[in-house]
Amino acid sequence: MTPPTTAATRRTYGQACPVAHALDLVGERWTLLVVRDLMFGPVRFTDLRTSLPGLAPNLLSDRLRRLVAHGLVEQVELPPPAARTVYALTPRGRELAPVVHALARFGVAEWDDPDGDPPPRHLLRGALLALTAPERLGAATWSAVVELPDGAVGLAVGAREAADDPLGRLRLSDPHPADAPPADLHVRTTLGALVDLSRGRLTPAAARAADRLATSGSERALDQFARLFGWPRPA
């Protein structure tokens, strides 16, 4: 979809390059953070304001307007009893999910003390997603609840045939959806421990000994969880 050309939208690198064209669409400050917050489902304007406290309301409106004009985001009217307008990624917008995920994984290398400065509660799902490598998943389906000091996150891996977006079968959500069966695995840890485990600076045995990791539930799900987060494998 090509938006109308106006003074507000005539911003371009003017290069015949797909990278430059992509940045024409989503390269402005805050835009990818708006996309990040929509990756986990539809969000109200007021909730976007809460999750992006440094972004002025008029600038948020501008970013959303441009994303809608480019066909990356749409406004959706929820049915009663919710009866409210939310913003959601379109199928084209969901193609940005692996881009945001790759940037998050790139940024983990600079995240030296996640326990000292943990993300706000509403960003915990994004922080966990940054530490995962969905391409490592096997064929099994399973679910887990990750208990962190600042909140809990639900994680589910669905069947292969159910995959309908670029991140595949991995879903992160509220920890205890009303219609979900009990999780196969419970993990109690910290973001710092997960970072150290994924970088190979800590083994699961050492993390347990230091009371930085506790798990209960299915051993099969634990093995898949360790694979997903890149934990060192036992000799």
Chain segment 47-64, per-residue pLDDT in tens: 999 989 899 999 999 999
Contact 191, 118 (CB under 8 A): yes
Q: What is the pLDDT of residues 94-150, one digit of tens each?
A: 999 889 989 988 988 778 778 887 777 778 888 898 999 888 888 889 999 999 998
Which of 58-72, 83-97, 143-157 holds the top average pLDDT?
Answer: 58-72
Residue ranges of domains in the chain, CATH in brackets: 18-94 (1.10.10.10), 113-229 (3.30.1050.10)
What's residue 10's pLDDT?
A: 53
What's residue 112's pLDDT?
A: 76
